[in-house]
């Protein structure tokens, strides 16, 4: 199980960088455990700010069409584990090169289809199921579906071995100083979102009442969240006078943060608004009250996914109601009960910490299938 292997992870960046974020965390976790990783990605530009120093053991390669001379890397280090992230279709010339090596005596790679995270029941039913490849140079090989999830019957969640110690060693004041955030003891709220319709109401709520009566400093992530806040201040005619009159809300716009500093942001805040797959998992590990904006889909399929997540957390009624409003199910933003939310989220976090993490489960699965 602990033998070093050559992993090839394929990732297509669809939007919002969640896919490359998950793939990078997985790649670095594998590399930190002694494995070699080639991360093939069609647009690696986000890694310039997401992971500026790179990582020993992870080689980022452009997913071009065709892959061209990069395939020569297979000659010196044949693929042993092939990861198809989030349903992307691996470059056919890569599969053909692996098949050529197999005919020359190399073993088949263990082929993993790494799926999206969900708490819905189908995840347990479909996790670790095989799928026979019917066509092409790899006909007859087996592809395995691997589902991240929140129960022991799933593939678990990404959680690198040193995470809890890093969190225990974290110095909030020092980190805020390093980010040039002039913190005067306000409640810190992190905002990483798309464009929730309830955003103006949230800003007004903080401006009028703070968080449980205490002043709030809103730390706004760069990109869509920052644009949404600025648009709300411009478009909601009654909002700016409230902000000018009341001193309970101040806003700090953050630069693009590397993954390590995004973790630090979550640890520093008293309440975290997050979006997408990678950030909600990191917010769970942070152990602070959280509100998740799930990626909206036109057919509203995301609402069932959100409810399954809240069910898995055994979320109290107030947290469910706030999520429903934040995710557009009704227009009125209810009051926040962060203390009540915190107790349940800490219990859920503790239960999840008792389950094997995704990388460990992947390594065990690959060892059994090799």
Question: Is it true that the peptide bond before 66 is cis, omega within 30 degrees of 0?
Answer: yes
Q: Which residues are identified as catalytic?
A: 19, 277
Residue 104 has pLDDT above 70, yes or no: yes
> Measured between alpha carbons, how far is 252 from 244 in angstroms, rounded to an integer?
15
> Measured between alpha carbons, how far is 351 from 331 in angstroms, rounded to an integer?
33
For the chain, which residues make up each domain, given as ranges? 6-157+355-369, 163-353
Please report, rounded to a whole number, the percentage of residues in the chain having pLDDT higher than 90.
81
Please report, rounded to a whole number, the percentage of residues in the chain having pLDDT higher than 70.
96
Query: What is the arithmetic mean of pLDDT over 66-74?
Result: 79
Q: 246: pLDDT confidence band, cut at 50, 70 and 90?
A: low
Closest residue by Cα to residue 275 from 297, 250, 296, 305: 296
Residue 121 has pLDDT above 90, yes or no: yes
Which residues have C-beta within 8 Å of that of residue 40, sequence separation ≥ 6? 8, 9, 10, 11, 61, 62, 63, 67, 91, 94
Residue 216 has pLDDT above 60, yes or no: yes
What pLDDT digit, counting tens, does each position of 284-329 carry? 999 999 999 998 776 667 789 999 999 999 999 999 999 999 999 8
6-157+355-369 matches 163-353 in fold = yes
Q: What's residue 264's pLDDT?
A: 98
Give yes or no for a contact between 282 and 272, defined as CB atoms under 8 angstroms apart: no
Q: Write the CATH number of the domain with boundaries 6-157+355-369.
A: 3.40.50
Q: 239: pLDDT confidence band, cut at 50, 70 and 90?
A: confident
Query: What is the arithmetic mean of pLDDT over 244-252?
Result: 83
Q: What is the DSSP string of 100-124?
A: HHHHTTPPPPEEEEE-----STHHH
Closest residue by Cα to residue 110 from 72, 156, 146: 146
The string over 79-116, giving b where at least 16 C-beta atoms fall within 10 Å of a residue's C-beta and e elsewhere, is bbbbbbbbebebbeebbebbbebbeeeeebbbbbbbbb
pLDDT top residue among 345 and 330: 345
Residue 244 has pLDDT above 90, yes or no: no
What pLDDT digit, counting tens, does each position of 260-291 carry? 999 999 999 999 999 989 999 999 999 999 99
Average pLDDT over the chain reads 93
Kind and range of the H or E element at 318? helix 317-326
Give yes or no for a contact between 71 and 40, defined as CB atoms under 8 angstroms apart: no
Q: Write the CATH number of the domain with boundaries 163-353.
A: 3.40.50
Residue 352 has pLDDT above 90, yes or no: yes
Residue 188 token pair: 């810190």
Query: What is the arithmetic mean of pLDDT over 61-71?
Result: 84
Residue 7 has pLDDT above 60, yes or no: yes
Kind and range of the H or E element at 348? helix 338-353
> Measured between alpha carbons, how far is 69 from 60 in angstroms, rounded to an integer?
14
**Burial class for 76, CB neighbours closer than 10 Å (0-12, 13-18, 19+):** exposed
Q: Which of 96-100, 172-176, 251-255 has the lowest average pLDDT?
A: 96-100
């Amino acid at each position: 199980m602990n033998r070093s292997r050559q992993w090839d992870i394929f990732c297509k960046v669809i939007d919002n960088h969640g896919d490359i974020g998950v793939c990078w965390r997985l790649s670095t976790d594998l590399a930190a455990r002694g494995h070699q990783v080639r991360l093939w990605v069609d647009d690696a530009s986000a890694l310039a700010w997401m992971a500026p120093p790179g990582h020993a053991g992870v080689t980022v390669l452009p997913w071009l069409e065709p892959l061209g001379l990069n395939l020569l890397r297979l000659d010196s280090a044949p693929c042993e584990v092939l990861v198809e992230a989030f349903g992307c279709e691996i470059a056919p010339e890569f599969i053909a090169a692996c098949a050529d090596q197999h005919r020359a005596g190399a073993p088949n790679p263990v082929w993993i289809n790494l799926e999206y995270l969900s708490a819905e029941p189908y995840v347990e039913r479909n996790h670790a199921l095989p799928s026979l490849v019917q066509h092409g140079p790899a006909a007859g090989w087996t592809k395995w579906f691997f589902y991240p999830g929140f129960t022991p019957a799933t593939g678990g969640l990404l959680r690198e071995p040193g995470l809890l110690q890093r969190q225990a060693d974290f110095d909030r004041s020092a980190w805020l100083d390093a980010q040039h955030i002039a913190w005067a003891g306000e409640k810190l709220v992190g905002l990483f979102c798309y464009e929730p319709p309830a955003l103006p109401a949230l800003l007004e709520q903080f401006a009028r009442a703070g968080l449980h009566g205490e002043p709030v400093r809103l730390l706004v992530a760069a990109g869509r969240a920052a644009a949404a806040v600025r648009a709300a201040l411009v478009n909601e005619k009654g909002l700016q006078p409230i902000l000018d009159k009341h001193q309970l809300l101040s806003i700090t716009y953050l630069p693009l943060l590397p993954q390590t500093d995004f973790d630090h942001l979550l640890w520093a805040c008293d309440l975290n608004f997050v979006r997408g797959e990678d950030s909600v998992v990191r917010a769970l590990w942070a152990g602070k009250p959280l509100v998740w904006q799930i990626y909206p889909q036109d057919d509203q399929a995301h609402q069932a996914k959100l409810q399954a997540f809240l069910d898995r957390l055994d979320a109290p009624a107030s947290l469910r109601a706030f999520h429903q409003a934040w995710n557009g199910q009704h227009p009125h933003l209810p009051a926040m009960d962060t203390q009540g939310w915190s107790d349940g989220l800490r219990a859920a976090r503790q239960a999840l910490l008792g389950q094997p993490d995704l990388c460990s489960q992947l390594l065990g699965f690959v060892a059994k299938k090799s």
